[in-house]
Amino acid sequence: MKGQVALITGASRGIGQAIALRLAAEGVYVVATATTDIGAEATVAAIIAQGGAGKAVKLDVTNSAEVEALFKTITAEHGRLDILVNNAGITKDGLMMRMKDSDWDSVIDTNLKGSFICLREASKIMTKARYGRVVNISSVVGEMGNPGQVNYCASKAGIFGLTKSAARELAKRNITVNAVAPGFIETDMTADLPEKGREALMQNVPMGRFGSIEDIAYAVLFLVSPHAGYITGQVLSVNGGMYM
């Protein structure tokens, strides 16, 4: 995979950062995006520190013009884009009966529409090259639902349909499109949960522990590697045995 170019959205911390570091360790040049000017700088600094190469970019994935401009820049600078990981996502939780339209719209726009826009632009480059690997980051709650997260769950469930449909469209051009659906992962968000809340969640995980961000990074690494060339349109659940 050395010499390949990857774009990873939402790469400032957590799962996105772990994916960026793992791909960079394989010799992939990583374009890491975040919503602020300095958001992904720490990720790229860590990549460089481990001997890799990359670039931090401010990007609003819901803004088509910004996304199109970034993909043109990548093409101009590298002449290729081999890997896209759609990881950018937000939450605005609340009970459905009290949820504002704006909370619904912002989550759907970032998590689902943003993934679509990036995938659409990536497909233009990958189709010409007749090669590409796309991984969309979904969630176990897209499969099982979760109270207080109708907007987030709907966005992550939509990722499944986006993945499967895009995979059918792009397969003949040697472009694979898959999804990874993490379960409960140790991140900044789960670290803030009270102990009783953590214990309650753990009751649903047969393996008896939260996953690590590296668990997700290695799953993505497999799907974008040559070893997964005949896998497309699939959802890889990384959840410690949490199933419906």
User: One digit per residue, pLDDT tens: the chain, 244 residues?
Assistant: 999 999 999 999 999 999 999 999 999 999 999 999 898 999 999 999 999 999 999 999 999 999 999 999 999 999 999 999 999 999 999 999 999 999 999 999 999 999 999 999 999 999 999 999 999 999 999 998 989 999 999 999 999 999 999 999 999 999 999 999 999 998 876 676 678 777 887 888 999 889 999 999 999 999 999 999 999 999 999 999 987 5
Contact 12/62 with Cβ under 8 angstroms?
Answer: no
- Judged on CB neighbours under 10 Å (0-12, 13-18, 19+), 205 is middle
Q: Where are the beta strands (DSSP E) in 42-129?
A: 54-58, 83-86
Q: Which residues are catalytic?
A: 152
Contact 85/8 with Cβ under 8 angstroms?
Answer: yes
Residue 238 CB-half CA count within 13 A: 23
Q: What is the pTM of this model?
A: 0.94
Q: What are the structural domains of the chain?
A: 5-185+212-237 (3.40.50.720)
- Judged on CB neighbours under 10 Å (0-12, 13-18, 19+), 234 is middle
SS3 15: helix
User: Per-residue b/e over 152-172, b at no fewer than 16 CB within 10 Å?
Assistant: bbbbbbbbbebbbebbeebee
Contact 62/117 with Cβ under 8 angstroms?
Answer: yes
Q: How far apart are CA 150 and CA 122, in angstroms?
A: 29
SS3 32: strand
CA 174 to chain centre: 21
Q: How far apart are CA 124 and CA 128, in angstroms?
A: 7
- The Cα angle at residue 149 between residues 234 and 144, in degrees rounded to 5: 40
pLDDT at position 188, please?
73
pLDDT at position 15, please?
96
